[in-house]
Structures are given as C-alpha cells and as structure tokens.
C-alpha cells in the first residue's frame, strides 16, 4: 500500500503475542537480541494497522497476507511474534523511533522512506489499481482529468492525484470513507491497494465498487508530472529501524527463499491475488533501488527467475 513516512505518534490500541514455534532442530536459526538487533530476545515485535486483507487481528491472532508471510519467516528464524496495533503514521513512527522491530502491511518502498528506515526485499509487488463504480471506465491517466479522485491521508497517491489537471483531489482518514463516497457517487476514483479493493468487493457487493487497473503513465508523462510515478506498479517491503541491518538481511533472505519454493505464490493466491501480477517486478524497479539501498547488481526477486 502506498503510504506516508510521517513520524506521527499514535497510541497503541492493542497488544498480543503469537507463538510460531522454535526451530529446535536448527539451533543456528534461533535469533537473539544480540545477533538480530531485536528489542526482546527471541521475539519479533511488529506493529500494524487494521488493513485487511493485508494485516489485522482476529481472535487474538494476526491475519492477512503480510501477517502470513511474517509468520512463515518468524517460524524459520525460530522467533515468536509480539504485535501492537496503531494507525499508519503510528506504525511507521514506532519503527523509526525503535519502539518496534518491524512494521508490515503493503508498505511501498520509496527513496524518502528508506532514508529513515530499512526496507526488506519486496515480499510482493503491487499493480496500479483503482476502486471505481460499477460501470465506470478509467483506462489511463488522461481519463482522470477533471474527476473527483480520492485516497487515504498520507498515502503517496495523494501526491499523484494532486497533479492530475483539473481533477479534484480528496483525502480521507481511512479506506472505508473512500468506499463510502465511491458508492454514493461523490467520488469517481479511489486509489487504494488492489487486494483491499478485491476484499471490499467480496465483503460488500451491495456497494457496487469494483477494481480496475490503470495503464501506467508513460516516461514522458512522468517527466512532465514527477509524482505520476506513484501511478505505476510499486515495490512493497517490510520496514525496520535503520539500525537493524542483520535483521533486515535475515528477513530478506527468507523472503527470497519463499519466491523460490512457491510459498509466496500460494499465499498471494490465498488472499485473492494473481502471482503473475504480484510476484514479477516491472523492468524499472531494479534501477529504483540500485545504489540507493541495494548494490549496483541487485535484482528484485521474481517467480520467473
């Protein structure tokens, strides 16, 4: 999900612990505060916001796509997971202030965010999706001109919609408000994460909101409107404190392994996504991170490798 890197603080709404079991047969996989920069030995402290189908808490357990990925990684590393719940700015702020080991939930990689935190390799990629009314058609950026466009406050799509000529940009406190205004006709297009839109279709068919994929802007359009780059597919990542170099590497290694063993494809399918869309990077993605927070020969993980 494309979101802000604000340092805003928020009160934690809940806390719980999930045990994923320790790798007793592989002692070297067991993590400690010393070797993986954890706040608490043997425990991965994660903060989330309720954002299904990516992250949420149900019956005292983390659920959702990102939660499932993290659970698999924690199990491989021999860690249990302790979680807290806040809003988006709060979860990023908790990592940047080293009050949490990690935050998850479709967070988009950006150069500005990586300056104040660490991103793992992408657990998946997110295609450019829009929430629209039942019969609406918006095939490209030009078709958005003059329309009522909305997203959630702090998401970087707010920058993109503000640059669309003659459009009326709207910012909402939560995705529910975006869907509500779409259903009522007060909004033409809502920019949200694709699995969230699909999930809303399944849960509330009465709202008659559906997903549509935007044709990414051309290089010429991005040159004229730099923030149109957020209308392109983007890399997600798990987000860690800047000091957690070993932990980031350990988690990235597990993510890369999950591309290879098919487990990421299974989880993407479980939560309503197409692995060919979510697990294959766009050609420009390697260059975005090379020399920034990855070496010059870095290649984004892919199920096609």
Q: What is the pLDDT of residues 179-235, one digit of tens each?
A: 999 999 999 999 999 999 999 999 999 999 999 989 999 989 999 999 998 899 999
Provide the terminal-to-terminal Cα distance of the chain, rounded to the nearest Å.
25
Any idea which of 45-54, 99-108, 149-158 has the lowest mean pLDDT? Answer: 149-158
CA distance 12 to 214: 36
Pick the CATH number of 14-125+235-289 from 1.10.510.10, 3.40.50.300, 3.40.190.10, 3.60.10.10: 3.40.190.10
Structure tokens at 67: 């939660």
* pLDDT of the residue at 156: 78
What does the angle CA 256 – CA 121 – CA 262 come to, to the nearest 5 degrees?
A: 30
* pLDDT of the residue at 75: 97
Per the model's pLDDT, the better-predicted residue between 280 and 33 turns out to be 280
The β-bridge partners of 190 are 131, 150
Per-residue pLDDT of 58-88, as tens digits, reads: 999 999 999 999 999 999 999 999 999 999 8
What does the angle CA 279 – CA 140 – CA 212 come to, to the nearest 5 degrees?
A: 55
Q: At 21, phi and psi to the nearest 5?
A: 90, 150
CA distance 265 to 167: 37
Residue spans in the chain of domains classed CATH 3.40.190.10: 14-125+235-289, 128-231
Q: Would you place residue 21 in the very low, low, confident or very high pLDDT band (cuts 50, 70, 90)?
A: very low
Per the model's pLDDT, the better-predicted residue between 6 and 17 turns out to be 17
CA distance 250 to 51: 25
Q: Would you place residue 154 in the very low, low, confident or very high pLDDT band (cuts 50, 70, 90)?
A: confident
Crossing angle, helix 263-270 and helix 65-77, to 10 degrees?
150
Structure tokens at 204: 């509330």
Question: Does the domain made of 128-231 have the CATH classification 3.40.190.10?
Answer: yes
Q: Would you place residue 155 in the very low, low, confident or very high pLDDT band (cuts 50, 70, 90)?
A: confident
Mean pLDDT, to the nearest integer, of 17-33? 39
Mean pLDDT, to the nearest integer, of 35-55? 95
Mean pLDDT, to the nearest integer, of 12-16? 45
CA distance 260 to 160: 34
Torsion angle in degrees (nearest 10) through CA of 22, 23, 26, 31? -50
Per the model's pLDDT, the better-predicted residue between 154 and 74 turns out to be 74
Q: What is the pTM of this model?
A: 0.80
* pLDDT of the residue at 305: 63
**Cβ atoms within 10 Å, residue 266:** 12
Q: Which of 1-15, 207-221, 240-254 has the highest mean pLDDT?
A: 240-254
Average pLDDT, the chain: 88
* pLDDT of the residue at 46: 98
Q: Would you place residue 134 in the very low, low, confident or very high pLDDT band (cuts 50, 70, 90)?
A: confident
CA distance 220 to 226: 10
Q: Would you place residue 15 in the very low, low, confident or very high pLDDT band (cuts 50, 70, 90)?
A: very low
CA distance 95 to 92: 5
Per the model's pLDDT, the better-predicted residue between 10 and 229 turns out to be 229
Per the model's pLDDT, the better-predicted residue between 33 and 62 turns out to be 62
CA distance 9 to 86: 9
Any idea which of 100-104, 152-156, 258-262 has the lowest mean pLDDT? Answer: 152-156
Composition of the chain by helix, strand, coil, percent to 5: 35, 20, 45
Per-residue pLDDT of 139-151, as tens digits, reads: 999 999 999 999 9
Structure tokens at 69: 């990925």
């Amino acid at each position: 999900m494309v979101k802000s890197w604000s340092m805003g603080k928020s009160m934690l709404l809940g806390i719980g612990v999930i045990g994923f079991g320790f790798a007793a047969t592989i002692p070297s996989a067991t993590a400690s505060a010393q070797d993986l920069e954890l706040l608490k030995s043997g425990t991965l402290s994660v903060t989330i916001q309720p954002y299904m189908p990516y992250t949420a808490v149900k019956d005292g357990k983390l659920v959702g796509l990102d939660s499932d990925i993290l659970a698999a990684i924690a199990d491989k590393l021999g860690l249990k997971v302790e979680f807290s719940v806040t809003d988006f700015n709060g979860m990023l702020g908790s990592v940047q202030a080293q009050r949490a080991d990690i935050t998850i939930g479709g967070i988009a990689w950006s150069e500005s965010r990586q300056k104040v935190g660490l991103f793992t390799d992408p657990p998946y990629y997110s295609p450019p999706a829009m929430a629209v009314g039942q019969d609406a058609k918006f095939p490209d950026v030009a078709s958005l001109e003059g329309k009522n466009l909305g997203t959630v406050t702090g998401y970087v799509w707010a920058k993109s919609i503000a640059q669309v000529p003659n459009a009326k940009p709207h910012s909402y406190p939560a995705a529910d408000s975006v869907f509500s205004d779409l259903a009522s006709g007060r909004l033409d297009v809502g920019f949200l994460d694709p699995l969230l839109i699909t999930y809303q279709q399944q849960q509330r068919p009465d709202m008659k909101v559906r997903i549509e994929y935007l044709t990414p802007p051309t290089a010429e359009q991005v040159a004229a409107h730099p923030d149109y780059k957020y209308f392109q597919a983007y890399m997600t990542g798990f987000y860690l404190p800047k000091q957690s170099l070993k932990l980031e590497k350990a988690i990235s290694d597990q993510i890369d392994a999950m591309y290879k063993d098919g487990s990421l494809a299974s989880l993407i399918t479980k939560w309503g996504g197409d692995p060919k869309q979510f697990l294959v990077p766009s050609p420009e993605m390697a260059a975005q991170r090379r020399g920034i927070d990855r070496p010059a020969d870095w290649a984004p993980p892919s199920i096609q490798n």
